[in-house]
Amino acid sequence: MKLNHINLGVTDVPGTIALLETYFGLRRVEGMPQTSGMSFVHDDNAALISLFKVNDANYPKIFHIGFLQDSKAQVDEIHEKLRLGGFEPGEPKEEFGRYVYYVNAPGGFVIEVSAQV
């Protein structure tokens, strides 16, 4: 079974798309709407993230989406790029067999970046 898509309500569709493209390599889906009110991106496995504009994104504290990297070095590289891009990612740390940190996305949700250790 493959994950088909995740739908997120976000306060800033263009900002969220820019983050996902720039730092996580997702790509816009050709033939699908790409507006300030909705947009669609996918990863290398064709898993889709659909983003729809909402005025108030209100996710539970534990909600996040995660991007698994192949190495601690990749985790650190994305951390530095995010930091230089004006984001404030948490400091990477080892926990539960992973090297991990979290960053707030401009759309109102949290992103986890991790690697197995």
For the chain, the structural domain boundaries read 5-53+63-116
Averaged pLDDT score across all residues of the chain = 95
Residue 17: exposure state from Cβ atoms within 10 A (0-12, 13-18, ≥19)? buried
Give me the pLDDT at residue 3, please: 82
Give me the pLDDT at residue 2, please: 81
Tokens 């790509």 appear where? 27
Task: Give the global pTM.
Answer: 0.92
CATH top-level class for 5-53+63-116? alpha beta
What is the tens place of the pLDDT at every residue in 17-55? 999 999 999 999 999 999 999 999 999 988 999 999 999
Does residue 32 or residue 2 have the better pLDDT? 32
What is the distance, to the nearest Å, from the Cα of residue 91 to the centroid of all Cα atoms in its chain? 17
DSSP code string of 7-30: EEEES-HHHHHHHHHHHH--EEPT
